[in-house]
Structure 1
C-alpha cells in the first residue's frame, strides 16, 4: 500500500472515531455516525480499505459506548466490514443506489438477526428502528459528500480508475 493511501486510510479511521461520538438515540449506545467515513473510504480507496474502516470504526464506536454487547461487537464489526465491502463492489460498478439500499437494509435488518437468536425478538425489534435511522443518515451523508470530495480534490486522491 502506498504511503498516500495509508495516510488517507488513517484519516478515515480517525474520522470514524470522531463519528463514534455522534450518537443516535438507541436501545444500545453504539449506533453512531461511524459508518460515514467507512462508506467514504469504500468509494475513494476501495473495498479492503472501506471494510477495515468499517470494522475498526464499529469497534471504536462500541468502546466509546462502553461495549454494551461485550464480545458480540466483534461479530458486528465483521458484519460491518462485509457490508461496506459489498457496498464498494456495487458503488464502484455504477450501481450506486443499489449499494446504498443494500447497506441500509443489511445494516438495519440483516446484521442484527444473530442477536434475535441470542437475545430474543424484543431486542431485535427495539434496535432495528435506530439502526435504520443511523444507516440512512450515514448513507445519505456519504452520497452527498463523496462526489464533492472527488470533484474538489480530484487527482490528489489515491483513487483507482473505477472510482
Structure 2
C-alpha cells in the first residue's frame, strides 16, 4: 500500500512538472498550470501526500522559470503544501464548495500577501491579478478532471487514503 501511495504521489508530482511547462503569460512574469494536478491528487491521496505533490510541483515550475523570485520560492512551495493539504482535507470531509472557495482565496489572494512586505506593495498589486487568474484556471481544470478521473478509475485509487 505504501509503495502504491508513493508511486501515485510521484505520478502526480510529474504531472505538476509537466503543468509547469504550460505557461500562461499574464502580468508580471507568467504563471503555469502546475497546481491543477496537485488539486486532482487531493481526490486520491491523503492530505500530506497531496501537499507534497503541490510543493514539488511549484518547485519544478519555478525551476523551469529560472527561480525568478530566488529563495522566496521556498516560501511559495511551503504555502502550496499547506493550501493543497487543507484542500485535500476539505475534500475528505466532503466540503465540496468550501474546498474550492478556500483554494481560490488562499492561493489567489492570501498566498501572495507576504510579498507586499517582502518585495514591495507595487509588486504585490502588479502580480495579484495574474496569480488570481491562474488560480481560477487551475481550479477550473481540476474541477473538471476530478469527477472524470474518479469515474475512469472506478475507485481503483480510492484505497490510497
Q: TM-score range by the shorter chain?
A: over 0.9
Please give the TM-score of this superposition, normalised by the length of structure 2: 0.94
Q: How does 1:1-12 map to 2 (within 5 A)?
A: 2-12=2-12
2:38 is the alignment partner of 1:38: yes
Instruction: Report how far residue 38 of structure 1 moved.
Output: 0.7
**Distance (whole Å) between structure 1 residues aligned to residue 100 and residue 142 of structure 2:** 9
CA RMSD after TM alignment: 1.4
Contact 2:5–2:160 (Cα < 8 Å) also in 1: no
Q: Tell me which residue corresponds to 2:14.
A: 14
The equivalent residue for 1:63 is 63
**Is contact 2:4-2:160 (8 Å) kept?**
no
CA deviations on 1:46-95 (whole Å, 9 max, x unpaired) are 20111001011001000000100000000000001000011111122111
Cα deviation for residue 141 of structure 1 reads 1.1
Q: Is 1:38–1:57's contact at 8 Å kept on the other side of the alignment?
A: yes
Is there any run of 5+ residues in structure 2 with no aligned partner, and where? Answer: none
Aligned partners of 2:51 and 2:84 also within 8 Å: yes
Report the counterpart of residue 28 of structure 1 in structure 2.
Answer: 29
Query: Following TM superposition, where does structure 1 have runs of at least 4 consecutive aligned residues deviating by more than 6 angstroms?
Result: none
Scaled by the length of structure 1, the TM-score of the pair is 0.93
Aligned-partner Cα distance in 2 for 1:158–1:96: 17
CA distance in 1, matches of 2:73, 2:138: 19
